[in-house]
Amino acid sequence: MKTSSAIGIATLALASALGTTSSIAADKPAALIIAQGGLGDQSYNDLAYAGFKNAIKETGLEGKPVESKDVVAQATDILRRASDADFGLVVDLEYSHGEPLVAVAKDYPDTDYVILNQVREGKNIASVLFQEQEGSYLAGTLAALVTTDTSIKGINDKPIIGVIGGTKSAGIDKFIAGYIQGAKAANPDIQVKVAYSNNFGDPAIGLQMTKAMFEEGADIVYQVAGGTGMGVIQAAKEAGHYAIGVDTDQDGVAPGAVLTSMVKRTDIAVETMVKDYAADKFPGGQTVTFGLKENGVGLSEMKYTKDLIPADILKKVEEAKEGILSGKIKVWNVVDQGYPDFMK
């Protein structure tokens, strides 16, 4: 099976430089397998890599990012090459790698693996989950309250908002379900337009799809599509409407055109996993969860838009947050509960 040059270079370099002499797992280097969309997406991958680099710097471990032009199709090959290259820890950001990772992990019992956004069984596998639905609920609440307030520049009087996912999957729909639930809690009459780009690295598609939603009356569109989401933000900037960013704080990508960002702290999660590995405290066989309570998800500070939003709206969003933290508000989790009626 063919692999990308990035994989080949990383494998050869580490194989020659490190050999196979290390007997203690935490003495071996760490690898970060980059997901669809690649580095430079200003979103999920970039934020996770920032946490990875920080952990490498603070622990003194060696570490490498591993990219592939076809990260989905080459899943098993990528994982095996990383394991053969004598990495002691392999952190995998790609959602589609769940099943292949389990199979590979069985063949490399002395290597530790981390998979994000799902739970996989294995003594040498740590699963990391985020409560993206919680942060998305707040994004939906904010969008539904803002979308008919014509005192805000760029807002029309139509109760219509949108969301664009990178693919139709439980991992992405977890965000979307939370967004819709929060929106409908704030305004039961809200209309939420949902579309999927089927791509995480094509801003042109995101631009086109968002423009279509704006033409249909939406004035706020949430992007859950990685690099494709850069097109969503560009469309908002061009149209004088708003995007909602995801994963990282994308408010500064187009100041004033990003209403807020649903920040998913993959940097904190990845940094935590690498540091635990380095300290011989790797949580193999366990699931580690990051939600609102753990500061793992939440809305950005809205540096460029907060002054535009009426105080009563900000208060309602904060009340929604407190409701989730107290347990009064239960946000639907597509991964655990399946699809809610409002998405069927």
Q: What is the pLDDT of residue 341?
A: 95
pLDDT tens by residue, 173-197 = 999 999 999 999 999 999 999 999 9
326 class by beta-carbon count within 10 Å (0-12 exposed, 13-18 middle, 19+ buried): exposed
284 class by beta-carbon count within 10 Å (0-12 exposed, 13-18 middle, 19+ buried): middle
Spelled out in words, what is the top-level CATH class assigned to the domain 133-263+297-343? alpha beta
**113 three-class SS:** strand
Q: What is the pLDDT of residue 27?
A: 79
Instruction: Say how far apart CA 296 and CA 299 lie, in whole Å.
Output: 10
**141 three-class SS:** helix
pLDDT tens by residue, 69-100 = 899 999 999 999 999 998 999 999 999 999 99
pTM over 0.85: no
Q: For the chain, where do the domains classified as CATH 3.40.50.2300 start and end? A: 5-130+267-290, 133-263+297-343
Confidence of residue 26 (pLDDT cuts 50, 70, 90): low
Q: What is the pLDDT of residue 244?
A: 98
Spelled out in words, what is the top-level CATH class assigned to the domain 5-130+267-290? alpha beta
DSSP code string of 316-344 = HHHHHHHHHHHTSS----HHHH---GGG-
Instruction: Say how far apart CA 2 and CA 22 lie, in whole Å.
Output: 29
